Chains A and B, each alone.
Chain A
Amino acid sequence: MTKELLKGNVAFAEAAIRAGCEAYFGYPITPQTEALEHMSARMPELGRVFLQAESEVAAINMVYGAASAGVRVMSSSSSPGVSLMMEGLSYIAGSEVPVVLVDIMRGGPGLGNIAPSQGDYFQMVKGGGHGDYRQIVLAPATIQELIDLTVEAFDIAERYRCIVVVLADGSLGQMMEPAELPPMQEVRKREDRPAWALTGAKDRDPNVISSIYINPAEEEVFNQKLVDKQKVIEANEIRFEQSDLEDAEIAIIAFGTAGRIAQSAIRQAQEEGMKVGLLRPISLYPFPSKAIKDIAAKVKRVLVVEMNAGQMVEDVRLAIEGAVPVDFFGRMGGMVPLPDEVYDQIRKTYAKIG
């Protein structure tokens, strides 16, 4: 395989197809619409299902239906559209069907704008919909990583029968980079659909896909099942990347695009002799709390950089438990921090350690 120049939205859509995604349901919303457009052409060409729904509410419930039939299915959207999907996501979580969702975040709250943002961290990482559940959230920083995580998301979703969200921002959706697509996987054969799926109760007892447990004691048993599953997920699915932290005095913690921008600023600071390293969480749930706590034991101060008013920083502070001070730098509303701005923040943080 060779690298080709790919736009983020097209890249993750094609990656999903290569991962054997059999059905896509979505609704146009900037800055992710190219994904829906790509699917609209490619899926019918391959004899797979594409449907433009009347709303994100309908789209996620179509996803819920197709997932209940045991096929690989996904949707993608951007912040306001994802808000509309929260009801469906809660039902999907409560029914334990595997679903992949890509959120290409934009500035908010409300209608906001169409510029890149990381303002949906709380919404996606802390659950979003009603009730006690968690969803796995993976945050890429490059288009290659967006492709790789989208493919992996389908495997992870099926492994745990859960929701996997690929959380990126508008800049990743819109920009082009050289990247390599994986080989094509065929869709699952009809006869290979999972035993729990709704396929018609022929020669077996009926299957039911439901999120209702009217008896609180039964609901609690189900909640406990989800909690137990979360423990396994937390043990197996933590992903992060770190660099230059061996002898660092300052650790920068940033995810996605903010992590990538921070990397440029760190290089500049290192050239001037500052001992700065980066930890970039890739899985936002499960969060790399232990890795962050271990780093905090070695450095003098931590700087968190985000494209929001300070959301992941709360999880960083929880992980660090006050061991070292945590500074925060964020740009909001669709504004993307410049490497120079982050560099200035590194200098400020560095000055505080004396």
Chain B
Amino acid sequence: MSSESLVETLIYSKPQGLTTIGTHYCPGCTHGISHRLVAEVLDEMGLREESIGVAPVGCSVFAYKYFNMDFAEAAHGRAPAMATGLKRVSPDKVVFTYQGDGDLASIGAGEILHAAGRGENITVIFINNAIYGMTGGQMAPTTLPGQKTTSTPSGRDIESHGFPLRMCEILSQMDGAAYIVRRSLHDVTHIRKAKKAIREAFEVQVNGMGFSMVELLSSCPTNWGIDAEKSLEFIKEKMLPMFPLGDYKNLTEMGNGQKG
């Protein structure tokens, strides 16, 4: 073996878009992956210093600590409204929200719908793990029929609790929406596709095309009560049939109905 072959080459490091603070996320939770994907994309696009993020209320309430960029912490569900205010007075900045399913699809359903309807030129990263994480595992608007949570101890009964909301399907009906896609974080192939979608969503904003959202099917081992590996299987086997992956609306040149 020659000495040259021992030269170290850095092939993996923390993106500049993330701080060095350790996160509070549970083992096996995919928030860390989605944080990293967003940070990598903003790094690669050279946008970190131009970006303003808006954190939600939910497990990612401390996102502002983990992203190395300007950040606001919104009230529960109001991130799209706060982002609207930020973007309207700073149209040359890249403004994005990072929201969970309770924040976006329940208490903030009005704000997200109207932000999409207005064609607000912001990007939304939507984490759908079918449960309320921060408050300890209650039913979310995306909880699956029959899924047990601490507020549906016998499983979500559609007679009583109704059906899950499919936000991509709903928001893709908005004329102001330019890019509405659903991706998943359950394996490496899908993670790579998710990153590509996040990049496209920010490109949509940079090109002034209007509202963009990437929904990411995510895991919550702690509140699902299963281990990390089984959580990824849960996404694949239980969530994918209810929340099919794909481009629900894609006005970019790449938008040819490709599936996630």
| Contacts from A to B (Cβ < 8 Å) | 22-23, 25, 49, 51, 53-55, 57-59, 61-69, 71, 73, 87-88, 91, 95, 198-203, 206-212
Contacts and interface: CB of A to CB of B under 8 A. Distances in A.
A68 B72 contact: yes
Contacts of B83: 65
Where chain A touches its partner, the secondary structure class is: mixed
**Chain B interface category by residue count:** 20 to 34
A210 B85 CA distance: 15
B49 A200 contact: yes
Interface stretch (B63-71, B186-194, B198-206, B245-253): B63-71
Contacts of B51: 200
A87 B111 CA distance: 14
Contact of B68 (A57, A59, A73, A206): A206
Contact of A65 (B50, B70, B85, B114): B85
A61 B110 contact: no
Contacts of A53: 81, 114
Given A23-B85, A68-B85, A71-B89, A209 B73 contact: yes
B236 interface: no
A193 to B, nearest CB: 9
Given A64-B72, A210-B55, 20 more contacts: A23-B89, A25-B85, A49-B88, A51-B88, A54-B110, A57-B110, A57-B111, A58-B110, A61-B82, A61-B85, A61-B111, A62-B85, A64-B81, A65-B54, A69-B90, A87-B75, A199-B52, A200-B70, A206-B69, A208-B71
A202 B89 CA distance: 18
B89 A200 contact: no
A211 B74 CA distance: 9
A201 B48 CA distance: 8
Contacts of A61: 74-75, 78, 81-82, 85, 111
B59 interface: no
B72 A73 contact: no
B72 A208 contact: yes
Interface string B176-199: 000000000000000000000000
Contact of B89 (A69, A91, A201, A208): A69
A66 B85 contact: yes
B141 to A, nearest CB: 18
